[in-house]
Amino acid sequence: MSKYKKIWGIFFSLFFLWLALRKIDFQTIPTVLSQINLNYLFLLILSYTFEMITRAHRWLIIQEKEKLTFKYSFFGLILTFFFNNILPARAGEFFRPYYFAKKDLADSGETLAAVVLERFFDGVMLLTLILISFQNFTNNEILRQASIFTTAFYAIILVGILIAIFSRSFFEKMTGFIFGLLPKKLENFLSNLTHKFIDGLSTIKDFKRLIKIILSSGICWFCSVITVWLGFKAFGLEDNLVLASFVLTVLSISSMIPASPGNIGVYEYFCIFTFNVLGHSAEKGTAFSIVMHGMQYLYILILGIAIAIIEGIKIKEFSPQQPKNKD
């Protein structure tokens, strides 16, 4: 991992944290927090747990492997989030290929393809939420630009996936030309990974599995909306799933910004931003971000440490640049 990525991640986090907190009246934060309906905190944790369960189940559909059970799918998911929370530059995204190869559950190249597919279908759901929730905020230039950027980003990914699936020779020639500019050892490693990556994309050709993935993705994101909605309920805010979808959508788009581990700073700023758009005070947005971000971070931290201990995983053995491969 480049030290420059770490530096830039820390810079972005500090910058957005400064933007978020520069005009906050910190004396009112305890008052806002004291008004939380604690009855909803348990429901928040329960909803977030169900969200993780549905995402782990979706992974079993995306990457059908006889050895891959729900246990390892769930472990891999939590550890991915765990490493994203403690390492910069979203290094945890490389962990599942490493983890499944280490466990001899799946080839790292196929798992990497499955990660791309998972993120792509997340993008499809995100675009759906944009269409549903942004319709009332089209006059906001920042939101309009964000929706355009997100649409373009996932459109490029879709084009790349379609080329890899339906014009494999062209895709391999294109990547081969790019890899040919690199040192021979790295060229061979990336070429081998690309072949396995394309093999892993064959999932999308199976229509029944494709429908299952789409449906399971919808369930995953609906659970995410419910989690935010329960957060609204805890703070006594609008009982409205569309507004909860709006907050979730903005926070999801903001997660694309490179930041320090756990997306600290960026999450808080955009949480306050959405609350301002909805007509709520920055202090209420800050309190909401403390509860929601804190709950998710501690949940993943506790489970991640427990699973790492159970699986005998050490941070120093994980190298994000070169996921372990077992053939």
pLDDT digits (tens, 9 = 90+) for 209-259: 889 999 999 999 999 999 999 999 999 988 789 899 999 999 998 888 877
3-state secondary structure of 75: helix
CB 272 within 8 A of CB 282: yes
**pLDDT beyond 70 at 102:** yes
Long-range contact set of residues 186-191: C-beta below 8 Å, sequence gap at least 24: 189/322
- Using the CB atoms, write b or e for 12-36: b if 16+ within 10 Å: bbeebbebbeeebeeeeeeebbeeb
Distances 160 to 172, 179, 207, 284 between C-alpha atoms, Å: 12, 16, 19, 41
**pLDDT beyond 50 at 323:** no
Quote the CA–CA distance of 286 and 290 in Å, as a whole number: 6
Residue closest to 325 by CA, chosen among 190, 198, 180, 204: 190
Q: What is the pLDDT of residue 235?
A: 92
Backbone angles phi, psi at 143, to 5 degrees: -65, -40
Q: Under the phi-then-psi rule, with left for phi > 0, alpha for psi from -120 to 50, and beta for the rest, what region is 279?
A: left
Q: Concatenated DSSP letters for 110-172?
A: HHHHHHHHHHHHHHHHHHHHHHHHGGG-TT-HHHHHHHHHHHHHHHHHHHHHHHHHH-HHHHH
- What mean pLDDT is predicted for residues 167-173? 84
Q: Which residue has the tokens 């995204």?
A: 93
**pLDDT beyond 90 at 55:** yes
pLDDT class for 260, splitting at 50, 70, 90? Answer: confident
**pLDDT beyond 50 at 76:** yes
pLDDT class for 324, splitting at 50, 70, 90? Answer: very low
Of the listed ranges 36-50, 177-191, 195-209, 227-241, the one predicted with least confidence: 195-209
Distances 87 to 102, 310, 316 between C-alpha atoms, Å: 20, 20, 11
Residue closest to 290 by CA, chosen among 235, 219, 220, 244: 235
Backbone angles phi, psi at 205, to 5 degrees: -80, -20
